[in-house]
Amino acid sequence: MGKIQDAFTSTDPKMVELRTQMFRQAGVLLPQGQAAIQGQMVPRTGQLPRYPIDNIAEPMSCTLQVPFDRAQRKKDVAMGLALPPKSGAMYDDKPIPPNYAHVDVMWTNKDFDEDEIDIPTEEGYMFIGATIGMRVLWNKSDIVLDMLTMAS
């Protein structure tokens, strides 16, 4: 038998599908596709740009991305729960930068485990693969919220 960690980090298509089914059944991972909201800026209200994560009221399933190449494409590197913004929230005893949000990382794509994150975890970890089960700061423009769809 394999390790539990293998079930959560495997990139084997069968394991990815089983993991997705498990998250859906647990109510953690919601349907993808047209129901997802990209982490794009929305019109300004005041001085700071607004992102979809700025408007959530309770934790929401999300996909975490990082940009690559000059074409401004992004790759999916992790999945987690985006947390609602809180006024005056701190991270590592410092104010959270305005373009970052708290996210609890639940799964990482093993292919990108050695990629660095923008802001190290409060424990000092700097690589995506080390963030499973941790709360991190993620750039709001790289968070894709998975929206609820009504069951038929």
pLDDT at 66 over 90: yes
Domain containing residue 114: 4-146
- For residue 103, being part of any structural domain is answered with yes
pLDDT on residue 3: 65
Segment 14-34 shows an average pLDDT of 59
- For residue 67, being part of any structural domain is answered with yes
In 3D, which of 56, 53, 47 has the Cα closest to residue 65? Answer: 53
Segment 19-25 shows an average pLDDT of 66
- For residue 92, being part of any structural domain is answered with yes
- For residue 114, being part of any structural domain is answered with yes
How many structural domains comprise the chain? 1
- Distance, CA of 50 to CA of 33 (rounded, Å): 22
Segment 32-58 shows an average pLDDT of 63
pTM of the model: 0.67
- For residue 151, being part of any structural domain is answered with no
- For residue 152, being part of any structural domain is answered with no
At 67-77, the pLDDT tens digits run 888 778 999 99
**Residues 6+ positions from 16 with CB-CB distance below 8 Å:** 10
